[in-house]
Amino acid sequence: MNSNDPSAAPSKADKATVRRHNLSLVLRTVHDAGEATRAGVAARVGLTRAAVSSLVDQLLTEGFLTEWGKTFSGQAGRPGTALQVARTGPAGLGVEINIDYVTVCVIDLAGTERVRLVERTDNRGAPPATVLARAARLASRAIESATEQRLRPVGAELALPALVSGGSVRQAPNLGWNRVAVEGLFAQALTALHPTHRALPVSADNEANLAAMAELWFGDSDDRVTSFIYLTGEIGIGGALVLNGQLLRGAHGFAGEIGHVVVEPDGPECRCGARGCLEQYAGQAALLRTAGLDESAGLTGLAELERRAREGEPQARNAIDAAGRRLGRVLSGAVNLIDPDAVILGGVFRDLMPWLAPAADEELTARVVSGLWTPGSKRLRASSLSGDAARGAAARVVREVLADPAAYVERVAD
């Protein structure tokens, strides 16, 4: 019926839109395959070879794809030129601003990390503008290093241990920030360092959200899950929910705050304002304190905790076990609510898995309904080593390029 309607004939605007969409389709197909021939792409996306060739030519010219050598297709034995996404050109810049460090990384279109800079620094107490200027300096060095590799960051994504919405931090209890317009402040600080550059678009998100996306995009491919609860143990405890490959943001963008689920109604006051939050029992400070270490010892303290646990020191083992038990208890509730494929633990939890996981697993086994959680299940797992919030942030920029390359064609400077 619809096809008899003359108004349904594709207009010029439609054709341009279709081509733009198909450019992304071809680019993503090569990206996901790692390497592909024009014929291979055509077979996969269901366009004609001629159409694919025209799209590939444009992507080559504009620097999104490169071609190299000859490859032999399995079926016909005819050689074809292999296409790959470019290792130069558009890149993503990820900036993780955490309590006691700043990490900046640049990844290329293929997702490979090409620059990583880490600065250990205590960001607590300093004014937000100072911290963001510090991060901008590090980012600026990363951009220089990327430029030397002929990479061109086309956007920056900030990862923060905070409730972030609409480009602003609403609250970052452990940084002591309230209502900070982080995107604007960071962009301003970066522009001040490079007054001649075109301003880089900046966006921001919660660090656990971005670490969870890194897990989804870069995690172990042999046992990939697409619905999971992600927890990252830092000075605070970050959390994120990924359902069917999509981040659950919630009505206000603040979903995933598992660190502030109550474990002891009358427990110690938390920086968030409530009492007895999980963070007060399984955060870094609690872990160190219970183990008899200086709770503000940070990374050194954690290394010591891990060493003691490895040597079987009872107080260290008990401290981690107690944290694991509380973690498992809260996670059992979350699993009963969400029924995910897996629970993934990152940050310090990752390093403490051998002593943390058994207690958490025991609680999960006892408390998840209907015996759905079997002991020693692979559903409780450590995060992969290949992703963190900074890389997730950089990858989000790259994914925007892959989704619409035409929007990122380099214009010659005016």
Which range of residues in 100-108, 253-261, 347-355, 381-389 is near a copy of itself by CB under 8 A? 253-261
Nearest distance from C-beta of residue 412 to a copy of itself, angstroms: 27
Question: Judged by CB under 8 A, which of 115, 235, 334, 402 binds a copy of itself?
Answer: 334
Is 330 a binding residue for a copy of itself by CB under 8 A? The answer is yes
CB of 118 or CB of 372, closer to a copy of itself: 372
Is 19 a binding residue for a copy of itself by CB under 8 A? The answer is yes
Give yes or no for a contact between 113 and 391, defined as CB atoms under 8 angstroms apart.
Answer: yes
Which positions from 72 to 111 touch a copy of itself by CB under 8 A, shown as an x/- string?
A: ----------------------------------------
Q: Residue 107 to residues 190, 336, 409: CA-CA distances in angstroms?
A: 19, 37, 18
Exposure string over 28-54, b if 16+ CB within 10 A, otherwise e: bbbbeeeebbbbbbbbbeebeeeebbb
Nearest distance from C-beta of residue 128 to a copy of itself, angstroms: 16
Nearest distance from C-beta of residue 38 to a copy of itself, angstroms: 14
Rounded-to-integer distance, Cα 173 and Cα 177, Å: 6
CB of 97 or CB of 237, closer to a copy of itself: 237
CB of 269 or CB of 294, closer to a copy of itself: 269
Which positions from 173 to 212 touch a copy of itself by CB under 8 A, shown as an x/- string?
A: ----------------------------------------
- Beta-ladder partners of 72: 79
Rounded-to-integer distance, Cα 117 and Cα 137, Å: 11
Which positions from 210 to 229 touch a copy of itself by CB under 8 A, shown as an x/- string?
A: -----------------x--
Is 252 a binding residue for a copy of itself by CB under 8 A? The answer is yes
Is 370 a binding residue for a copy of itself by CB under 8 A? The answer is yes
> 225: which residues sit within 8 A by CB, 6+ positions away?
340, 341, 342, 344
Nearest distance from C-beta of residue 248 to a copy of itself, angstroms: 7
Instruction: Take residue 219 and report the two structure tokens written for it.
Output: 């995690």
Q: Residue 223 to residues 185, 219, 226, 293, 342: CA-CA distances in angstroms?
A: 40, 9, 10, 37, 11
Question: Judged by CB under 8 A, which of 51, 126, 129, 406 binds a copy of itself?
Answer: 51
Least Cα distance to 233 among 253, 214, 207, 255 occurs for 207
Rounded-to-integer distance, Cα 358 and Cα 356, Å: 6
Give me the amino acid identity at 82: A
Which range of residues in 68-76, 120-128, 245-253, 284-292 is near a copy of itself by CB under 8 A? 245-253
Is 260 a binding residue for a copy of itself by CB under 8 A? The answer is yes
Q: How many residues sit in the footprint of a copy of itself (CB under 8 A)?
A: 58
Which positions from 138 to 177 touch a copy of itself by CB under 8 A, shown as an x/- string?
A: -------------------------x------xx------
Nearest distance from C-beta of residue 259 to a copy of itself, angstroms: 8
Chain positions contacting a copy of itself, by CB under 8 A: 1-5, 10, 15, 18-19, 22, 47-48, 51, 54-55, 163, 170-171, 227, 239, 241, 243, 248-258, 260-262, 265, 272-275, 329-330, 332-334, 336-341, 366-367, 369-372
